Homo-oligomer: A and B are copies of this chain.
Amino acid sequence: MQEYIKADPWSIIEEGFDKELVKSSESIFSIGNGAMGQRANFEEQYSGETFQGSYIAGVYYPDKTRVGWWKNGYPEYFAKVLNAPSWIGIDVYINGEALDLNTCKKVDRFSRELNMKEGWYLRVFTAVLPNGTQVSVKVTRFLSLDLDEVGAINYEITPENADAEIKFVPYLDSGITNEDSNWDDKFWNTTSVRSEAGQAFIEAHTMKTHFETCTFMENRLFLNGQALIAKPAEHTADMRVAHEYVQMAKQGETLSLHKFGGYTVSRNHQASALVEASRTALGKAFELGFDTLLEKQKQAWAKIWEMSDITIAGDIKAQQGIRFNIFQLNQTYLGKDSRLNIGPKGFTGEKYGGSTYWDTEAYCIPFYMATKDQNVARSLLKYRYNHLEKAIENAQKLGFSNGAALYPMVTMNGEECHNEWEITFEEIHRNGAIAFAIYNYYRFTGDYSYIPEMGLEVLIGIARFWHQRASFSTAKNKYVILGVTGPNEYENNVNNNWYTNYLAKWCIDFAVEQLQKVEDGYNDDYRRVIGKTKLTDSEVSQWKKVAGNIYFPYSEEKGVFLQQDGFLDKELITVDQLPKNQRPINQKWSWDRILRSPYIKQADVLQGFYFFEDHFTEEELEKHFDFYEPFTVHESSLSPCVHSIQAAKLNRMQQAYMFYLRTSRLDLDDYNKEVEEGLHITSMAGTWMSIVEGFGGMRIVDDKLSFEPKIPEQWEAYSFKINFRNRILKVTVKKNSTEFLLNGQDDMSIRLNGERVVLKPNKLKVV
């Protein structure tokens, strides 16, 4: 843990310049607008340690797989999130000397602020250059939500101890490299570098995938707020274009450069029209100007917060943590485009190839469902429908047939982007999470239409997979699922992972139920889908045979389902008995030792109890929680949230609160010492769940919202909002009461601690 971020309800603040923290802050202060994003790299040059990164949503490169030992079935290529051409750079020279915080004699009053309420990032400092000139600098940057191809920078410099000649050299640069490359391939091909009429453009496409992009900029100079008519000198090179503005500023005068830049991409425009589209984008931005565009940014973020904010009274760090999570999720994905998804690092780093894990279905969909229009969650479901053919191909590569679908462990375009056999081939429970999300979407939104239109085909592909993947054990006289990795990745290639088996059975049951429902209610869709999938009654009977007779490892003695066959053969020493210096085990122990230990990386059996809470009694939950949590090391960012929800349900508020803090400030306090590489975006949705489902106890029961609110003793109150079927309900939980405020026209009946409560619209209900 490193705690250098100042506590503040609405802003992330760093004070003081520490070169050791530059890479961490570059991650934490990252900005994004769903379409693009970038790490909080300095605009001016910096010769110290830095991790430069700019990213464009949906732009990737299929890197040739490189492994120590090839295993049949590995994909030959692996889609990687790509570092994109950079548009933020502004070299600054003061009296002919480059401004570089790494070489300045003195850096004072350095601070960063990421204003989450309004969606901008500010950096200020005073520096004394080696040549003795002292300048104060203030840089404001944001990526527009309104014009999502455009970002804006206001770079202000004030000479403080003498008049100074200031040279700004804003530039575009496509000569970028990836931190992570398997074969040192060239990822980008720059096709044109242009500068004309004060605007600059670099057209470049990714190799192989041919995503065409145009990176652009235009700048304007101001002295003490007055626009200067300055025609820049223009410099173009192979992969770079720079404009040069030279201006004297008297001591105390402020010279500022407004830089507008960004990307247009062939996903949204004709490839041949990107420069034109860029001109249009620049035109719109310039017409508005920096200040007006920033004003609109504030409004846009206000609208997001209006719906998704969570307030916490009496615990500023918890407040800052939850807002940081909500803010980053919204920076990463806004749900406008069903071709995009929520990358595990968003726009903050490039670790992990691909963008889409089961995290989306298991963790992110509940957040987006409740805080956005329901179309956003539908877009995420549609994304998987669009990838169904590829999932079927993927299953074929692994020996399945007849339309069985196995969704990839990680993907960008539907193809598998992962190559670690025990995960890629065996962590197949991901398939179940996709089916569960379909169920969850319908349960929450009441919108059944996705299932007849798209979901049924997905469910059939998934059911076929499970049917084929299970095999019959004569010894057990049951169907078994051999050789899998469950959510707890500290077990590989195990037999009969309870969570996987349970999910497999559920997937088949759910698919069978939906087949009936669609046949009854949407007969056209039914006939279309049956025609397309060639599903027969006898096949469905075979599915049922498997689902009805699947094996669940269970210990009579312990009264719990076993994580997998043989779990009780382990040395069952609980985590609290492990010496501190042995942890985290993923850093201290060799892999085989981890595997034969009982230690659990993240909820596994308990993930099943989370998904299917209503299948089990609270006593059963308690028994399993008490059995498994003591072996859980929570070394996945996805672990604490599920445990927080269950601890809250079991009225263990101190434990629930501890898990909550760990999930909500994971990156801010750098629990895992890896924030330099980027943020853990998808687990941030788990933080939201910890409050709404955990403390708030929100569930859908009998098609209605239900709450069982609890409050950690450290808090005075907290509130959240839910978009439930286009009705906005604000819930405020205080020490001794719960308040509901419902918008709209009609009454709504909910449950509170099991009791029916009728809410009148626009009227505060205090219980």
Sorted nearest first, the 3 A-B pairs with minimum C-beta distance are A73-B590, A425-B592, A483-B596
Inter-subunit contact B568/A566 (CB<8 Å): no
Inter-subunit contact B495/A492 (CB<8 Å): no
Contact of A68 among B65, B495, B565, B568 (CB under 8 A): B65
The interface-forming segment of A98-106, A474-482, A527-535, A728-736 is A474-482
Inter-subunit contact B68/A471 (CB<8 Å): no
Inter-subunit contact B474/A593 (CB<8 Å): no
The interface-forming segment of A374-382, A569-577, A612-620, A757-765 is A569-577
CB neighbours of A71 from chain B (8 A)? 590-591
16 examples of A-B residue contacts, CB within 8 angstroms: A67-B67, A69-B420, A71-B590, A71-B591, A72-B587, A72-B591, A72-B594, A397-B590, A399-B590, A422-B493, A471-B571, A473-B568, A475-B569, A476-B569, A495-B566, A495-B569
| In the complex, A421 has a CB within 8 A of chain B | yes
CB neighbours of A572 from chain B (8 A)? 474
Residues of chain A from 462 to 498 with CB closer than 8 A to chain B in the complex: 471-476, 480, 482-483, 492-496
Inter-subunit contact A471/B587 (CB<8 Å): no
Bound CA–CA A494/B321 (angstroms): 42
| In the complex, A419 has a CB within 8 A of chain B | yes
* Distance of A416 from chain B, by nearest CB (Å): 11
Bound CA–CA A569/B473 (angstroms): 5
Contact of A398 among B426, B570, B592 (CB under 8 A): B592
Contact of A571 among B68, B472, B494, B496 (CB under 8 A): B472
Beta-carbon nearest neighbor of A472 in chain B: B571
Inter-subunit contact B570/A73 (CB<8 Å): no
CB neighbours of A494 from chain B (8 A)? 493
**Of listed A68, A399, A492, A566, residue having the most chain B CB within 10 A:** A68
* Distance of A568 from chain B, by nearest CB (Å): 4
Copies of this chain per assembly: 2
Q: Which residues of A contact B (CB under 8 A)?
A: 65-69, 71-73, 397-399, 419-422, 425-426, 471-476, 480, 482-483, 492-496, 565-566, 568-572, 586-596
* Contact flag A493-B492 (CB < 8 Å), given A71-B590, A569-B480: yes
Inter-subunit contact A474/B568 (CB<8 Å): yes
Beta-carbon nearest neighbor of A592 in chain B: B425
Bound CA–CA A173/B399 (angstroms): 48
Inter-subunit contact A595/B474 (CB<8 Å): no
Inter-subunit contact B68/A420 (CB<8 Å): yes
Inter-subunit contact A565/B566 (CB<8 Å): yes
Bound CA–CA A203/B66 (angstroms): 35
* Distance of A596 from chain B, by nearest CB (Å): 4
* Contact flag A493-B495 (CB < 8 Å), given A590-B398, A593-B399: no
CB neighbours of A475 from chain B (8 A)? 568-569
Inter-subunit contact A591/B421 (CB<8 Å): yes
CB neighbours of A65 from chain B (8 A)? 68
CB neighbours of A493 from chain B (8 A)? 422, 492-494, 595
Inter-subunit contact A565/B568 (CB<8 Å): no
CB neighbours of A589 from chain B (8 A)? 72, 399
CB neighbours of A596 from chain B (8 A)? 471, 482-483
Inter-subunit contact B471/A570 (CB<8 Å): yes
CB neighbours of A592 from chain B (8 A)? 73, 398, 421, 425-426, 483
Inter-subunit contact B419/A68 (CB<8 Å): yes
Inter-subunit contact B68/A483 (CB<8 Å): no
CB neighbours of A426 from chain B (8 A)? 592
Beta-carbon nearest neighbor of A568 in chain B: B475
Beta-carbon nearest neighbor of A586 in chain B: B72
CB neighbours of A425 from chain B (8 A)? 590-592
Beta-carbon nearest neighbor of A565 in chain B: B566
Bound CA–CA A682/B558 (angstroms): 50
Bound CA–CA A116/B193 (angstroms): 67
Beta-carbon nearest neighbor of A73 in chain B: B590
Inter-subunit contact A590/B72 (CB<8 Å): yes
* Distance of A578 from chain B, by nearest CB (Å): 13
Inter-subunit contact B482/A569 (CB<8 Å): yes
CB neighbours of A67 from chain B (8 A)? 67-68
CB neighbours of A480 from chain B (8 A)? 569
Bound CA–CA A587/B70 (angstroms): 11
Beta-carbon nearest neighbor of A492 in chain B: B493
Beta-carbon nearest neighbor of A585 in chain B: B72
* Distance of A566 from chain B, by nearest CB (Å): 5
* Distance of A398 from chain B, by nearest CB (Å): 4
* Distance of A75 from chain B, by nearest CB (Å): 11
CB neighbours of A587 from chain B (8 A)? 72
Beta-carbon nearest neighbor of A469 in chain B: B596
Bound CA–CA A506/B419 (angstroms): 38
CB neighbours of A420 from chain B (8 A)? 68-69
Bound CA–CA A425/B595 (angstroms): 11
Beta-carbon nearest neighbor of A423 in chain B: B69
